[in-house]
Chains A and B, each alone.
Chain A
Amino acid sequence: MRYEVRIDVTHLPGVLDPQGATVERALPALGYDNVTEVSIAKTIRLALDAPSESDARDQVDAMCKQLLANPVIERYTVQLEAAS
């Protein structure tokens, strides 16, 4: 079975996000003075062949822990669906 996977890697709460902070400071210059909580994330998309959805999730989880995210500063969410 093939699964389409989307992984969003974001900063852990409390870890400074210099890119988000800079964008947040820039937006008011364009008149958007009502914006807060800007954060810049990374999206990783991949296709994965696996025998079951739970197996696919386990594999993606392991990939995130080993390489795709750095648990010291980042957290991740995974969206996964069977390819049509």
Chain B
Amino acid sequence: MSTKVGIVLFPGTNCEHDVAWAVEELGGQATMLWHGDRSVRDVDAVVVPGGFAHGDYLRTGAIARFSPVMDAVAEHAAAGGPVVGICNGFQVLTEAGLLPGALQKNTGLSFVCDTVELEVVSTRSVLTHLAEPGARLRIPINHFEGNYVCDPDTLRALHDDDRIVVRYVDNPNGSLDDIAGISNEAGNVVGLMPHPERASHALLGSADGVVMLQSLLAAAQRAAA
């Protein structure tokens, strides 16, 4: 039985097929979860993919967090199930209170679409436990609001509890402390701005995202066992 990854679809989500392709390429099974669903069914892991959920109206992720499916995602996370928010999905998870802080407009007000270098910081998370600490990964980013901010107490907690998952080597958006991705305390909920699914095959220019997706699949399998 292959590992089942549920991919949450809001109106305006646009990276769901990329995530599904990458998951299936690595031997997992992808299934879509509609935002109006009240359950995540029998999935082993949840991915909240990139896009513009609910048009990013008001603030990115602000409306999406009230979707019925988000209660089920929170329950899945509370039970220790892996949850990963990519790009807009990261914004949704911060608005939903599953991860601390917020993502605001990039410094310089520019939309950034580029492949950047990341440094793996924590290998405790469901997205990086198979990666080497300090490893450099080339992963695409594609966002206008990826500038991570949080209060000083939260930043200290992220440091002290080993919750900074990946950092930008060359900060592209003004993110506090070069943060590209963080996790919750348990490490089973991760949000990051870069798109590992877009670096999942050499034909895409980089396969450095594979280790992240393999980590997720392995964590999901473990959580399901």
A residues with a Cβ closer than 8 A to B are 15-16, 18-19, 21-22, 67-68, 70, 72-73
Contact = CB atoms under 8 A, between A and B. Distances in A.
A65 to B, nearest CB: 12
B74 interface: no
11 contacts: A16-B107, A18-B105, A18-B107, A18-B109, A18-B174, A19-B105, A22-B109, A67-B62, A72-B94, A72-B101, A73-B102
Contacts of B104: 15-16, 18, 73
Interface string B100-126: 111011111100000000000000000
B147 interface: yes
B200 to A, nearest CB: 31
Interface string B191-222: 00000000000000000000000000000000
Contacts of A21: 107
B149 A70 contact: no
Size class of the B contact interface (CB-based, 8 Å): 20 to 34
Given A16-B149, A18-B147, A18-B174, A70 B62 contact: yes
B151 A72 contact: yes
B106 A18 contact: yes
Given A19-B105, A73-B102, A68 B174 contact: no
A70 B109 contact: no
B58 A67 contact: yes
Interface string B66-93: 1000000000000000000000000000
Contacts, number: 38
Contacts of A16: 104, 107, 147, 149, 174
Given A22-B109, A72-B94, 4 more contacts: A18-B104, A19-B105, A72-B101, A73-B104
B150 A18 contact: no
Nearest to A22: B109
Nearest to B105: A18
Interface string B124-165: 000000000000000000000001011100000000000000
A16 B174 CA distance: 9
A70 B59 contact: yes
Contacts of A15: 104, 149
A72 B150 contact: yes
B57 to A, nearest CB: 11
A78 to B, nearest CB: 17
B95 interface: yes
